[in-house]
Chains A and B, each alone.
Chain A
Amino acid sequence: DGGITQSPKYLFRKEGQNVTLSCEQNLNHDAMYWYRQDPGQGLRLIYYSQIVNDFQKGDIAEGYSVSREKKESFPLTVTSAQKNPTAFYLCASSIASGTGNTIYFGEGSWLTVV
């Protein structure tokens, strides 16, 4: 089945640690996105990538890093510089970035700081 796979579903991070959330898609989409969702809130854009080896900061990129070495993969690293990382993280993709494209979401990853 085509889709977006995020792993792990649940992740716990200790203070001062970096953690990486995985996102893989087999939809042959060029564009990929990372959003953060806090409980009861909307989605905020962290990073997005329009094509391999290229990515742009979103509204809340501080404390996060990404890479796009392969079309299928867009991992997100939550660094120790992110002071309040506890949230639900959603990866998404679309056939291309830009106007009029539907984006498809993974099932999300819950990150909790312990």
Chain B
Amino acid sequence: SQQGEEDPQALSIQEGENATMNCSYKTSINNLQWYRQNSGRGLVHLILIRSNEREKHSGRLRVTLDTSKKSSSLLITASRAADTASYFCATDRTGRRALTFGSGTRLQVQP
């Protein structure tokens, strides 16, 4: 079963603009992670935010978590063509010792 649902499913922006992706989930979590996948490749970890954190930054990435709404957002600032990829949220929910991934957002950054 899919724990997370990303929104939008696809996003196309111009280089230099900001990209915001949202993730909603259904059950209580211990933490939430974001991963990136280039087409036809494996996933790469971007950032982890714990359930007791509300915001976290890493370089051009900013992640927020609202456990009351069971949602998270990933903001990529000053996007580059190289940011073109699919982005997935993954939750580490209570009682399950493996990550559950959402359906992903496909980001296209036009040069």
Residues of A within 8 A of B (CB): 4, 31, 33, 35, 40-45, 48, 50, 56, 58-59, 88, 90, 92, 97-100, 102-108
Return chain B residues, CB-CB under 8 Å to A106. Answer: 42
Q: How far is the CB of A25 from chain B (nearest CB, A)?
A: 12
Chain B 36-76 interface 0/1 with A at a Cβ cutoff of 8 Å (1 = within): 00001111110010100000000000000000000000000
Return chain A residues, CB-CB under 8 Å to B99. Answer: 33, 45, 103
Complex: A98 Cα to B96 Cα, angstroms: 7
Residues of B within 8 A of A (CB): 1-2, 4, 30-31, 33, 40-45, 48, 50, 88, 92, 97-104, 106
Return chain A residues, CB-CB under 8 Å to B4. Answer: 42
Query: Is A42 in contact with B101, judged by CB distance below 8 angstroms?
Result: yes
Query: Is B45 in contact with A104, judged by CB distance below 8 angstroms?
Result: yes
Partner of A48, one of B43, B50, B97, B102: B97
A102 in contact with B33 given A33-B98, A42-B101 (CB within 8 Å):
yes
**Nearest-CB residue, chain A, relative to B106:** A40
Return chain A residues, CB-CB under 8 Å to B31. Answer: 99-100
A43 in contact with B30 given A100-B50, A100-B92 (CB within 8 Å):
no
**Nearest-CB residue, chain A, relative to B41:** A107
Q: How far is the CB of A43 from chain B (nearest CB, A)?
A: 4
- Can you show 6 pairs from A to B with CB atoms below 8 A apart? A41-B104, A42-B104, A56-B98, A98-B97, A100-B30, A102-B33
Partner of B102, one of A42, A97, A103: A42
Query: Is A42 in contact with B88, judged by CB distance below 8 angstroms?
Result: yes
Q: How far is the CB of B36 from chain A (nearest CB, A)?
A: 11
Return chain A residues, CB-CB under 8 Å to B43. Answer: 43, 90, 92, 105
Return chain A residues, CB-CB under 8 Å to B33. Answer: 102
A97 in contact with B97 given A42-B104, A102-B48 (CB within 8 Å):
yes
